[in-house]
Amino acid sequence: MNVIKLSAIGSTNDYLKALCKETDLQDGTVVLTEEQTQGRGQMGATWFFEPSKSLAFSVFKRFDGIYVDHQFAIMVQVSLTLLNCLEQFGIPDLAIKWPNDIMAGDKKLCGILVENQLKGSQIKGSVIGIGLNVMNGSFKGLPKATSMLLSAGNSFDLEEVFSTIAEEIVFCLNHFYADHYHLFKMYEESLYRKDQVSVFSDQNEQFNGIIRGVQSNGELRVEIEDGTMKSYRLKEIKLLN
Ligand code: BTN
């Protein structure tokens, strides 16, 4: 693994994307920072970071012959890899909140921001940003956040957590070309609140529904109260509880 260690940066995803444009970046390059001042989350959100307690890093993966319709499969692969690593570290009650938040119980432990470089109908490369709360003891103003420390009740070594996860992500993405059917099945089995009645909102209203799975393009399949099945894209639906 080619690891670039920074003392501080706005966003590791932005740094890695800029580096990709400027240089012929080695496949599997990882950028890790000790401090991230302008971390970005999904849909324009900001991402919380606490030095010496949080992990923020981004992985660059080059692809050849992968079509744009596989963008969601990349997120699936990364989410499952994180879930497996965190399980090995002994974190209880793990699940993937669609599309790719890693939950411990009802709280968010880890966020993933995948940004793909597209050329025509193909994905040329991906920058995969991981924000993981490791040793945080509290989260001011973020009642739905947790850390590895808070959920497992014991301490973790940031460097060890980083190298385990980064190596595993690079390894799994090097084998990404195989068996997506199996990958999607595992992802669906790991979905947060799957097969339970939940409250959702769309642009118009709140409604009850049951998460049943996902489509291969990433849409969430929800059974609504009259028994019909509907599929939603990311901005079309919000899981309230
Ligand atoms: C989310 O859940 O909204 C995604 C959060 C992703 C945060 C990580 S931290 C490292 C990388 N750099 C960023 O600016 N964002 C990602």
At 63-121, the pLDDT tens digits run 998 899 999 999 999 999 999 999 999 999 999 999 999 999 999 999 999 999 999 99
Average pLDDT, the chain: 95
Question: What is the arithmetic mean of pLDDT over 192-201?
Answer: 96
Report the sign of the C-alpha dihedral through residues 187, 190, 195, 198, in that order: negative
Q: Whole-model pTM?
A: 0.95
With contact defined as beta carbons under 8 Å apart, do 96 and 184 qualify? no
Q: Distance of CA 130 to CAs 55, 134, 201, 223, Å?
A: 8, 12, 27, 31
Phi, psi dihedrals of residue 13, rounded to the nearest 5°: -65, -45
- Ligand 1 mean position to 236 CA, how many Å? 21
**Is any atom of ligand 1 closer than 6 Å to the C-beta of 131?**
yes
- Provide, rounded to the nearest whole percent, the portion of the chain with pLDDT above 70: 98
- Which pLDDT value is given to residue 107? 98
- Using the predicted structure, report yes or no on whether residue 125 has a pLDDT greater than 80: yes
Q: Is the CB of 105 under 6 A from ligand 1?
A: no
- pLDDT computed for residue 1 by the predictor: 86
Closest ligand 1 atom, residue 110 Cα:
2
Tens of pLDDT, residues 129-155: 999 999 999 999 999 999 999 999 999
Residue 47 Cβ contacting ligand 1 at under 6 Å: yes
Q: Which atom of ligand 1 is nearest to the CA of 13?
A: 12
Token pair 């009740």 in the structure block, residue: 153
Quote the CA–CA distance of 123 and 117 in Å, as a whole number: 6
Spatial contact of 131 and 111, defined as CB atoms under 8 Å apart? yes
Ligand 1 center–CA 196 separation, angstroms = 28
Say what the pLDDT of residue 167 is. 97
What's residue 181's pLDDT? Answer: 87
Q: What is the mean pLDDT of residues 172-196?
A: 90
Q: Ligand 1: distance of its center to the CA of 225 in Å?
A: 34
125, 65 Cβ separation under 8 angstroms? no
Q: Which atom of ligand 1 is nearest to the CA of 108?
A: 2
Count how many residues are written for the chain: 241
Residue 231 has pLDDT above 90, yes or no: yes
Q: Does the pLDDT at position 190 exceed 80? A: yes
Residue 171 has pLDDT above 80, yes or no: yes
Per-residue pLDDT band for 178 (boundaries 50, 70, 90) equals: low
The atom of ligand 1 lying closest to the CA of 33 is 10
Give the mutation target among 34, 36, 40 for probing the ligand 1 site: most ligand atoms within 8 A of CB. 40
Average pLDDT of the residues in 20-45 = 95
Report d(CA 27, CA 62) in Å as an integer. 5
Residue 113 Cβ contacting ligand 1 at under 6 Å = yes
Looking at residue 234, its pLDDT comes to 86
Task: Give the containing element (helix H, strand E) for 181.
Answer: helix 180-189
